[in-house]
C-alpha cells in the first residue's frame, strides 16, 4: 500500500520541515517504497527509470540517520558514488536543499577541482562524502582519506557506471569499506554484470522496482522526423524547422559525438538561437557554468553529448531533440528522460536518416510499439534499403572500404603506385597503353643505329661520362642460368683484393723496397 505523505515515511521532523520548505507534498513511487526501508538500516536495491526522484529517495533517509554523531578528520561517515561530475554535483545540491536544518558537513570529490580545496574539507571531517570513483581512489592512493568509518554506501546510476568502465573501481572501493554497513543501490537497468555486483556486495536487499527497466515515462510525447539526406547541413536545417514549429521553452539537443556538438552550437548561434554546449572535453568550471546558465534560463538551447543524458535533474525542460539517433536504445531512454520529469509533460523529437533504421528498430523493440512519425514517414523501400547499409563510425554512417578512397580518386595509399607496380615476370606493369610505335620513327631503330644527334652527350659539365653498359640479351626460359661469379674489387685496377685485404689502411703493413 502506497503512502501519500512524507509524514508517513518515518522521517525526522527536521527532514519533514525541509521537504515542506522545498514545496513537496507527496512522494514519488520510488520514494514512497525506498524511504521507509532505508530509515531502518536495511540494504535497498532500487530499480527505476530516470526522473522518478531516486536522488531524494536516498538523500532523505540518509539525513535522518546522520542526525546523531559527528565525523572525524579524513574519515567520512557516508559515501555516495556517482558516475559523472555533474551528477555528483547535483547530489550535493540536494543535500544543501534538504539539509538546511542539519549541521552536516558535505565534501565533493570530483575531477577538475583543486586537490587542496578538497583536502581542507576532508581534514574538517565529512559527514557526507560525494565522489566519482576515479577521484576518490586518487585521494585514497595518496593516503589522504580513510574509508573504515563509512556507515552508509550509496551507488547511484550503477548501469551508467558499467557503461563507463567503473565496475572494477567500484569493486575495489567496496572492499575498502567495513563489511557492516548499509548499502543503497540504484540503477535503471539490471544487466548481468550489475546483478553480479548486487549479489556480491549487498546483504539481503529489499528489491524495489517501480517501472519496467529501460522504459520511457508516459508523460513524454515521442515523435520521429524522417530526413532522407545524411548531409549534416540538411539535418541542421530540418532541426531548425522543428524548433520553430514547436513551443519550446528550453531544450537539450543530443549528438552522438563531441565534435558534432561544437559544430551544432556554431550553427545554432549563427541562426540566432540562444545556445550553449556541454560535452566531456570541457573543463569542470565551464561545464558547471553552462549548466547553471541553462537552469536559470540564461541559455535556452543546450547542445550536448551523452554526458548530459543521465542523472542530471534540470527542472522543467520542455523539449529534447535527438540530432543523432543514439546507438543504444538504453541511451535513448536516458536522453528523453531529461524532459517529462516529476509528472510534468514533455516532448522529444528525433531526426532519422536512412543510416538509422536499425537503431530505430531497436527502439521500437524496447518500446513495444511502432514509433510515431511527424511529417512524411519513410516508405518500405527506403527502410529496406537503409537497413542494408553498413553503419560505421563515419559522419555519414556508412562504413568505409578497407582501402579508403582518396578524395581525388584511387586508393589512398595505393594511388600513384599503379605505374610502378611490378608484374609477375619482373617487368613493370604500365598503367595506360602506350601509343602506336609508328608515331616515333626512331623507336623502330635499335639504339646503336640511331643518328648521332640522338645519342646523349658523353660530356656534361666538363666531366666525361662512362659509356653505358650494353644490355644483356634476355635469357630464354629453356637456357640454363649462368653461375654467378664472385665479385672482386680491384685496388687501383691492378691486383685483385680478397677477403683478407679488407683491413683499415692504418693497420696494413707497408713493404719497403729493398735497397741494393
Residues 18, 20: Cα–Cα separation, whole Å: 5
Shared domain check, 120 and 37: yes
Residues 410, 418: Cα–Cα separation, whole Å: 10
Residue 150 lies in a domain: yes
Q: Which domain holds residue 248?
A: 220-387
pLDDT at res. 308: 63
Query: How many CB atoms lie under 10 A from the CB of residue 57?
Result: 27
Hey, which residues does 460 pair with through a beta bridge? 463
Shared domain check, 29 and 119: yes
3-state helix, strand, coil in the chain (%, to 5): 35, 15, 50
**464 CB contacts (<8 Å, ≥6 apart)?**
458
Helix axes 54-65, 85-98, angle to 10 degrees: 50
- Of the candidates 97, 118, 114, 102, the residue with the CA atom closest to the CA atom of residue 23: 97
Residues 191, 173: Cα–Cα separation, whole Å: 21
Where among 168, 186, 209 does a domain terminate?
Answer: 209
**Most distant pair of Cα atoms in the chain: their distance:** 132
- How many domains would you assign to the chain? 2
Shared domain check, 164 and 86: yes
Grid cell 597503353 is found at 433
| DSSP-derived 3-state class of residue 211 | coil
pTM: 0.59
Residue 249 lies in a domain: yes
Residue 422 lies in a domain: no
Residue 152 lies in a domain: yes
Kindly give the confidence (pLDDT) of every residue in the chain, 516 residues in length, as a single tens digit, with 9 standing for 90 and above. 445 688 889 899 999 999 999 888 889 889 999 999 999 999 999 998 766 788 999 999 999 999 888 888 889 999 999 998 888 988 999 999 999 999 899 999 998 888 888 999 899 899 999 999 999 999 999 999 999 999 999 999 898 898 888 999 999 999 999 999 999 999 888 889 999 999 999 999 999 988 665 566 678 999 999 998 888 899 999 999 999 999 999 999 999 988 899 999 999 999 999 999 988 788 878 888 898 899 889 999 999 988 766 656 677 899 999 999 998 887 888 888 888 876 788 999 999 999 999 999 999 988 888 999 998 888 888 887 766 665 444 444 433 333 333 333 343 333 343 434 444 444 444 444 444 444 444 444 444 444 444 444 444 444 555 555 555 555 555 555 655 555 555 445 444 555 555 666 666 665 565 554
Residue 112 lies in a domain: yes
CATH number for the domain harbouring residue 64: 3.40.50.300
Residue 410 lies in a domain: no
Residue 45 lies in a domain: yes
Where among 357, 387, 417 does a domain terminate?
Answer: 387
pLDDT at res. 341: 77
Shared domain check, 183 and 294: no
Where among 209, 244, 270 does a domain terminate?
Answer: 209
Residue 514 lies in a domain: no
Shared domain check, 187 and 63: yes
Amino acid at each position: 500500500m502506497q503512502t501519500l505523505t512524507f509524514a508517513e515515511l518515518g522521517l525526522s521532523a527536521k527532514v519533514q520541515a525541509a521537504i515542506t520548505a522545498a514545496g513537496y507534498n507527496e512522494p514519488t513511487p520510488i520514494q514512497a517504497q525506498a524511504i521507509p526501508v532505508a530509515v531502518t538500516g536495511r540494504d535497498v536495491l532500487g530499480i527505476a527509470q530516470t526522473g522518478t526522484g531516486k536522488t531524494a529517495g536516498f538523500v532523505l533517509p540518509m539525513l535522518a540517520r546522520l542526525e546523531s554523531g559527528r565525523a572525524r578528520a579524513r574519515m567520512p561517515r557516508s559515501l555516495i558514488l556517482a558516475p559523472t561530475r555533474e551528477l555528483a554535483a547535483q547530489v550535493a545540491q540536494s543535500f544543501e536543499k534538504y539539509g538546511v536544518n542539519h549541521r552536516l558537513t558535505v565534501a565533493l570529490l570530483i575531477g577538475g577541482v583543486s586537490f587542496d580545496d578538497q583536502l581542507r574539507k576532508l581534514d574538517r571531517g565529512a559527514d557526507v562524502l560525494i565522489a566519482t570513483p576515479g577521484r576518490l581512489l586518487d585521494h585514497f592512493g595518496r593516503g589522504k582519506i580513510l574509508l573504515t568509518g563509512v556507515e552508509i554506501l550509496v551507488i547511484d546510476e550503477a548501469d551508467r557506471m558499467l557503461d563507463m568502465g567503473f565496475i572494477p573501481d567500484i569493486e575495489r572501493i567496496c572492499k575498502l569499506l567495513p563489511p557492516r554497513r548499509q548499502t543503497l543501490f540504484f540503477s535503471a537497468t539490471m544487466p548481468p554484470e550489475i546483478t553480479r555486483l548486487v549479489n556480491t556486495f549487498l546483504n539481503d536487499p529489499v528489491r524495489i522496482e517501480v517501472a519496467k527497466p529501460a522504459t520511457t515515462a508516459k508523460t513524454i510525447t515521442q515523435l520521429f522526423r524522417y530526413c532522407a539526406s545524411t548531409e549534416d547541413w540538411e539535418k541542421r536545417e530540418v532541426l531548425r524547422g522543428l524548433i520553430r514549429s514547436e513551443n519550446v521553452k528550453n531544450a537539450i539537443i543530443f549528438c552522438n559525438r563531441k565534435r558534432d556538438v561544437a559544430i551544432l552550437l556554431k550553427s545554432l548561434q549563427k541562426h540566432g538561437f540562444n545556445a550553449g554546449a556541454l560535452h566531456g572535453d570541457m573543463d569542470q568550471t565551464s561545464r558547471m557554468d553552462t549548466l547553471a546558465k541553462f537552469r536559470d534560463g540564461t541559455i535556452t538551447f543546450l547542445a550536448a553529448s551523452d554526458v548530459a543524458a543521465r542523472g542530471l535533474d534540470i527542472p522543467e525542460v520542455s523539449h529534447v531533440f535527438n540530432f543523432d539517433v543514439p546507438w543504444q536504445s538504453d541511451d535513448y531512454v536516458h536522453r528523453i528522460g531529461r524532459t517529462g520529469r516529476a509528472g510534468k509533460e514533455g516532448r522529444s523529437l528525433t531526426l532519422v536518416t536512412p543510416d538509422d533504421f536499425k537503431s530505430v528498430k531497436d527502439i521500437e523493440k524496447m518500446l513495444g510499439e511502432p514509433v510515431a512519425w511527424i511529417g512524411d514517414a519513410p516508405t518500405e523501400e527506403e527502410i529496406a534499403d537503409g537497413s542494408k547499409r553498413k553503419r560505421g563510425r563515419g559522419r555519414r554512417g556508412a562504413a568505409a572500404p578497407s582501402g579508403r578512397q582518396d578524395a581525388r580518386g584511387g586508393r589512398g595509399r595505393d594511388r600513384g603506385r599503379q605505374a610502378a607496380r611490378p608484374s609477375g615476370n619482373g617487368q613493370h606493369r604500365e598503367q595506360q597503353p602506350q601509343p602506336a610505335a609508328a608515331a616515333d620513327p626512331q623507336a623502330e631503330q635499335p639504339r646503336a643505329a640511331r643518328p648521332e644527334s640522338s645519342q646523349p652527350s658523353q660530356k656534361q659539365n666538363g666531366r666525361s661520362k662512362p659509356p653505358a653498359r650494353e644490355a644483356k640479351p634476355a635469357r630464354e626460359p629453356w637456357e640454363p642460368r649462368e653461375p654467378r661469379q664472385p665479385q672482386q674489387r680491384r685496388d687501383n685496377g691492378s691486383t685483385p683484393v680478397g677477403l683478407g685485404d679488407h683491413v683499415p689502411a692504418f693497420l696494413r703493413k707497408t713493404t719497403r723496397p729493398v735497397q741494393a
